[in-house]
Homo-oligomer: A and B are copies of this chain.
Amino acid sequence: MFRDTLRKMKIALAQLNYHIGNFDSNVRKIKDVIARAKEQNADLVIFAELTVCGYPPRDFLEFEDFITKCNESVEDIARECTGIAAIIGAPATNSNEKGKPLYNAAYFLRSGKVESVHHKYLLPNYDVFDENRYFEPAGSVSCIELEGTTIAVTICEDLWTYGNENLYSSSPMDELIKERPDLIVNLSASPFDYRHMEERKATFSNCARQFNLPLIFVNHVGAQTELIFDGGSFVLDSSGKMTNQLKMFEEDFQILDLNNPGNESSVQQYSKLELIHDALVLGIRDYFTKSGLKKAILGLSGGIDSAVTLALTSSALGKENVTALLLPSKFSSDHSVADAEQLCRTLGCPYEKISIEEINETFEKTLKPYFKDLPPDITEENVQARIRAVLLMGFANKFGHILLNTSNKSEKSVGYGTMYGDMAGGLAILGDVYKTEVFELAEYINRNEEIIPQNSIDKPPSAELRPDQKDVDSLPEYDILDKILFEYIENRNGPKELVEMGFSKELVNRVLKLVNMSEYKRFQAPPILRVSSKAFGMGRRMPIVGKYLS
């Protein structure tokens, strides 16, 4: 399973949480790990893609100063690499006259200097990826030689041709294999979605089997605004079986003993809800940590979305760091307020109850001369939602909180929310979680004890912005709605395919129209923690004033 030359080598895997552009912090972490690997007599330590600058650095890559800092960081780290070798990711300058100015590169560091630079060959440019925007693809590829072992170095997408869509007409392994490598290494920045670990295993196993070579995959861990990197770096033997896996959602460091590899049965398995839960907790924590802020605030309605958001944030930041505001109006039911208070007491989070009634009346009075006797409509509902946002942002500004957005993916899809009202917030926690999944998440949170009040789970969803309002007055039942949305958004099925699946043409047209007509609302929505294969935000780019299915 592992050749002899390889068995003799001590290889360390470094799975770290980087911070985009924070060179001081990234370099310090990397140096600490190199020192630790040296102490443990490792021969080689492998880091992830674009290690020194974090991923994705986006348009920072267009600044010379940023690239200079990347280069200086690489040199700085190289100086530590005496008595040990390292492979780290960083941008590399394209010194040819033609082409984009940078490569996405893996640096092989040894003897205190950069020994070779290996460019990424396949550049992903779909969904959340924009690598063609910055990088020139590799013109040539070559292996690394270390202690008699030949290592094929690849970067993330480079290996995603095995068992996937035929996006590319060649693979760097076509060339690298000619050097008869003993091992394939892949430096990645592979973002989480709840199915992605399975896809990674399948793809990389295909690759290992095809070349009959072991494969080491080193990933980022930690969240960069929307994108959550789940870690889970792993080692496959030459039959494609997983022998080792690093932690999910945590920094980790492991020195491989290839004489005594693990086996697939020892690798921890996660359910979809466990993955989503842990990803969201990491996403929240990192957004705050990396923003340099500690405290969150949210409006707690007694409904399921804000309840789950509060529970997740309490896990991420500590109960004392999340304040809940209960902001009832005359349309809020007693049980809503009671459910909200119960949750705060259960979690131990600070909370305040502030009626919006008097402010709402003052707005009504101020607007009366202009609205005259026009019947109440969505306007008055929106005013209530916006008053709540003004109060929440007032607290946030005064006390240094970040406002959490509690909208779920179903609402965001169909535009069922008020801009500058309940759609406000610095970060959308559940914006990539459909309503039916929010219920599942609530059950998951309650798996050992009742944290989310059962009543918040059981009662019919309502915005409580007019008497006896229910979501189903405006929307299809969520179990049907979410299925249509999933097929349209995640699977990109159109009206024809949806009708063929058995949904009525009228319902399909209605839902797709709602989705397409809500682009203008989503455009101004907060960043959304991405947990699915297609989240709103950087991975889904739609025209706003288009007229298609709308």
Contact = CB atoms under 8 A, between A and B. Distances in A.
Interface of A: 19-22, 25, 54, 56-60, 62-66, 96-100, 125-126, 130, 132-133, 166-169, 224-225, 286-287, 290-291, 352, 354, 356, 358-359, 362-363, 365-367, 370-371, 374, 377-379, 382-383, 386-387, 389-391, 393-395, 397-398, 419-420, 424, 426, 492, 494-497, 520, 523-527, 538, 540-550
28 contacts: A19-B546, A20-B546, A20-B547, A21-B543, A59-B541, A60-B546, A64-B494, A99-B167, A100-B167, A125-B125, A130-B133, A130-B541, A225-B543, A354-B366, A358-B362, A358-B365, A359-B363, A359-B366, A363-B390, A367-B394, A371-B398, A379-B397, A379-B398, A382-B393, A382-B394, A386-B386, A390-B420, A523-B526
Contacts of A420: 386, 389-390, 393, 420, 424
Interface centre among A291, A358, A420 (most CB of B within 10 A): A420
A138 B70 CA distance: 35
A163 to B, nearest CB: 14
Contacts of A382: 393-394, 397
B543 A60 contact: yes
Given A20-B546, A397-B378, A540-B59, A168 B526 contact: no
Contacts of A21: 543, 546-550
Number of chain copies forming the complex: 2
Nearest to A547: B22
Given A58-B541, A66-B494, A524-B524, 16 more contacts: A19-B547, A21-B543, A21-B548, A54-B543, A60-B546, A65-B495, A130-B130, A133-B541, A224-B543, A225-B543, A225-B545, A290-B547, A371-B398, A377-B397, A420-B420, A527-B544
A388 to B, nearest CB: 11
Contacts of A225: 543-545
Nearest to A492: B62
A501 B377 CA distance: 56
A252 B167 CA distance: 39
A367 B355 CA distance: 11
Given A352-B370, A354-B366, A391-B366, A290 B59 contact: no
A524 B391 CA distance: 19
A166 B95 CA distance: 12
A367 B65 CA distance: 45
A545 to B, nearest CB: 4
A543 to B, nearest CB: 5
A25 B545 CA distance: 14
